[in-house]
Chain A
Amino acid sequence: MSEVLWNTAASFTAQSTSITTFDSFAVSVVVKIAFALGLFFVVPIVGGYLEHKVMGRMQARRGPVEAGPFGTLQLVADGIKFIQKEDVIPRAADRWVFAAAPGVALVPGMLIFLVLPFGPGVFALDLELGLFYALAISSVSVLGILMGGWASANKFSLIGGLRAGGQLIAYELPLILAAITVAVQAGTLSLVGIVEAQATFMLPGTEINVWYVFPQILGFGIFFLAAMAELSRPPFDMPIADSELVFGYMTEYTGIKFAMFLLTEYGGMILMSALMVVLYLGGWQLLPGVPLPGCEGTGGLFDCGVTGTLLGVGITLGKIMALVFLMVWARVAYPRLREDQLQRFAWLVLVPLALLNLALVGVAKVVF
C-alpha cells in the first residue's frame, strides 16, 4: 500500500512543471483552485499562531495554551467563535458596500496564492508575468479598505480608511520599485524563473553562488519595510491605531466580516513573506549553491523526487515563518510612527532609495 502511494507521489513530483497540472483541463483548474485556497486558509493560521506565541513570549506571557496541544488550535477556535457571533450592521451604514468590503479586501490575496511557488513544481501557475500579476492584484485590496472605511458611517472608520488609503498608495511605490529591481537583475518576471535565476547567479568573476539578498540588501530592506507598511502592521499601523481610532476602518465590523479582515492581514503577511523568499532568499534552496537531494534540474531546483519536493516545501515554509517572526519582532519592539513621519519616511526616504537601488542594479547589470 505504502509502495503504491510512494510511486503515485513520485509520478507527480518527477516533473519540472506544476504538480497541479493534469491531462484534463477541468481537473487541473479544480485542483489548482483547491491548492491555492487550501494554502490561503492553512498557512496564515500557522503564521497567526506563531504571532500569538512569539508576542506572548516577548511580553513575558505564555500566549495561547488551552485550545489544542500548546494552544495550536487557538485560531481555529477563534474562527468558530467569529462565525457564531451576531453579524451587526450599523443602521446608518451603506449595507451592500459595508458587506462587500471584507470580500474585496480578501479575494486579491487568494488570487495571488495562485502564482506563489512553494517548492519544486509546487505551485498552481507559473505565469510569464507572475511578479507583475502579484503586485497588480495586490493593489486592488485597498479598494476594500476604503469601502469599509466609508460605508461604516463612523468618523473613526472614515479617518482610518483615509489613512489606510494614503499609506497604501505611498508604500506601494517603493515596494514595486524594489520588486522591479529584482526583475531587472533576474531578467524575468516569472516567480519560478526568478528562483532559478538566483540559483544560477554567481558573484561576478567568481564561482560563488549567492542569493539576491546579498547584492540587493538595500532593496530587501526597502521591500521588507514597505511590505510591513502595506499590511498596516505595527509600527506602521496608523490606519488602525487602536489608541486613537478605536480600530480604524474595522471599527464597525463584527463576526465573520471582522474575521475576513483579520485573515486578509495574516494572509498578506504570508504573501509578502513568500514574495520576499522568492525574490531575495532563493526560494526553496537550502543554502546558496547547495542543490536539494534528488533534484537534477537547473541549479538543483527542478525534477525532484518525493523527498526533494517535500524538503523544498519545508524550506520555503520555514523561510516564510522566519520572516513572519521578524515582522512580529518589529511589532513588539518599536512604537507606532506618527502619520506625518510615516508619509515622510515613504516619500523622502524609501522612494529615493528604491530609485537609487534600481539605478545601481541597472548599471551593474550592464557592466558585469
Chain B
Amino acid sequence: MTGYDIVFILVALLTAGSAVLTVTSKNLFHAALFLAVTLAGIAGVFLVLRADFLALVQLVVYVGSVAVLFLFGLMLTRAPIGREALDGQNRGLALVVSGTLFVVLSSLIVSSFGGERAAEVAGPGIEVIGIAIFADWVLPFELLSMMLLAALIGAILLARREDGESGEPDDEGRIEFGDEPSTEAGAHELPRGDSQPELTSGGDR
C-alpha cells in the first residue's frame, strides 16, 4: 500500500460518498452541491492518476460551469429558498437503472483488468496533448465542435419565443418598460403563470 493508494482511497471515498448523498438528499440545492463535490472528487481522482491537465479540465468544465449552471437554473426556477425540501418519486426506477449500470460496468472492468496491476503512467505533457488534438486528430475535433455549436443553436431556438408562436406576442411579458405597473401585477394578468416575466426578460439579455 503506497501513499498513492491511500490518497486514492480517500478521494474515492469522498467522491462515492458525495455521489450517494447527491441522490439521497431531499433538498434539490443540496443535491446540486453534492454533485459539485462529486465532480471535484473525480478531478481529484484524475490528479492521483497523474492526469493533471484532465483534472483541471474537469474542474473548469464540470465544477466551474456545469455545477454552476445547475445552481443558477435552480435559483431561477422554483427551488425553495433556505431549508425547505423537494422530493422526486422515482426512487425505485432510479435504483434499478443505476444498479444495473453498476453491475454491468464493474463486471466489465473486473473481466478486463482484474488481477493485473497496471503499469505506472506519467501522463503526457500539455504540448503532446495539444499537438495530438490539433495536428493528428484535427478533423474529429472540428466535427465535435460543430456538433456542440449545433446543440447551442438548437438550445437557443428552443428557448426563444418567436412572435405568435406561443399564441401571444413576445412583448407582453417584458418588464423593461417603465409604464408596466409592477412585475407581480403584470404576471397575474398573464395566463402563463407567475414566473414568466422574469424568464422572458432574462432570455432577452
Residue of B nearest to A96 (CB): B30
What is the minimal beta-carbon distance from A183 to any residue of chain B, in angstroms?
Answer: 10
- Asked if A46 is at the interface of the complex by the 8 Å CB criterion, the answer is no
Q: Are B64 and A142 touching (Cβ within 8 A)?
A: yes
What is the minimal beta-carbon distance from B190 to any residue of chain A, in angstroms?
Answer: 21
CB pairs A–B below 8 angstroms (30 shown): A93-B82, A93-B83, A128-B126, A129-B56, A135-B60, A136-B57, A139-B59, A139-B63, A140-B59, A143-B36, A143-B63, A143-B64, A143-B67, A146-B72, A147-B33, A149-B75, A150-B74, A151-B82, A158-B81, A162-B72, A165-B68, A165-B71, A165-B75, A169-B65, A169-B69, A172-B64, A189-B126, A340-B176, A340-B204, A344-B205
Interface residues of A in 138-160 (CB under 8 A from B): 139-140, 142-143, 146-147, 149-151, 153-155, 158
17 further interface pairs, Cβ-Cβ under 8 Å (given A97-B30, A133-B56, A189-B126):
A93-B82, A94-B27, A94-B82, A129-B52, A129-B126, A136-B59, A139-B65, A142-B68, A143-B33, A143-B36, A146-B68, A150-B29, A150-B71, A150-B75, A158-B75, A165-B68, A165-B75
Q: Which of B53, B71, B83 contacts A92 (CB 8 A)?
A: B83
* Chain A interfacial residues counted at CB < 8 A: 37
Q: Are B63 and A97 touching (Cβ within 8 A)?
A: no
- Asked if B178 is at the interface of the complex by the 8 Å CB criterion, the answer is no
What is the minimal beta-carbon distance from A193 to any residue of chain B, in angstroms?
Answer: 11
**B interface with A by C-beta (< 8 Å):** 27, 29-30, 33, 36, 40, 52-53, 56-57, 59-60, 63-65, 67-69, 71-72, 74-76, 79, 81-83, 125-126, 176, 204-205
Bound state CA distance, A146 and B19, in angstroms? Answer: 21
How many A-B Cβ pairs are below 8 Å? 95
Bound state CA distance, A128 and B65, in angstroms? Answer: 23
Bound state CA distance, A162 and B201, in angstroms? Answer: 14
Bound state CA distance, A151 and B71, in angstroms? Answer: 12
Chain B residues lying within 8 Å of A127, measured Cβ to Cβ, are 52
- Asked if A333 is at the interface of the complex by the 8 Å CB criterion, the answer is no
Contact A340-B75, Cβ < 8 Å, known A136-B56, A143-B67: no
Chain B residues lying within 8 Å of A153, measured Cβ to Cβ, are 81-83
Q: Are A97 and B33 touching (Cβ within 8 A)?
A: yes
- Asked if A258 is at the interface of the complex by the 8 Å CB criterion, the answer is no
Contact A139-B75, Cβ < 8 Å, known A97-B29, A151-B82, A344-B205: no
**A interface with B by C-beta (< 8 Å):** 92-94, 97, 127-129, 132-133, 135-137, 139-140, 142-143, 146-147, 149-151, 153-155, 158, 161-162, 165-166, 169, 172, 189, 339-340, 343-344, 347
Bound state CA distance, A127 and B27, in angstroms? Answer: 39
Bound state CA distance, A189 and B40, in angstroms? Answer: 22
Chain A residues lying within 8 Å of B29, measured Cβ to Cβ, are 94, 97, 150
Q: Which of A135, A140, A143, A343 contacts B205 (CB 8 A)?
A: A343
Contact A136-B60, Cβ < 8 Å, known A143-B67, A169-B68: yes
Chain A residues lying within 8 Å of B72, measured Cβ to Cβ, are 146, 162, 165-166, 169
Chain A residues lying within 8 Å of B68, measured Cβ to Cβ, are 139, 142-143, 146, 165, 169
Q: Which of A150, A166, A340 contacts B81 (CB 8 A)?
A: A150
Q: Which of A94, A128, A142, A151 contacts B125 (CB 8 A)?
A: A128
Q: Which of B65, B69, B75, B125 contacts A162 (CB 8 A)?
A: B75
Chain A residues lying within 8 Å of B67, measured Cβ to Cβ, are 143
Residue of A nearest to B64 (CB): A139
What is the minimal beta-carbon distance from B198 to any residue of chain A, in angstroms?
Answer: 10
Q: Are B83 and A94 touching (Cβ within 8 A)?
A: yes
Chain B residues lying within 8 Å of A137, measured Cβ to Cβ, are 59
Minimum-distance CB pairs A-B, first 6: A139-B64, A153-B82, A136-B60, A343-B205, A136-B56, A92-B82
What is the minimal beta-carbon distance from B46 to any residue of chain A, in angstroms?
Answer: 12
Chain A residues lying within 8 Å of B76, measured Cβ to Cβ, are 162
Chain A residues lying within 8 Å of B71, measured Cβ to Cβ, are 143, 146-147, 150, 165
What is the minimal beta-carbon distance from B76 to any residue of chain A, in angstroms?
Answer: 7
Bound state CA distance, A127 and B126, in angstroms? Answer: 11
Q: Are A340 and B205 touching (Cβ within 8 A)?
A: yes
Chain A residues lying within 8 Å of B30, measured Cβ to Cβ, are 94, 97
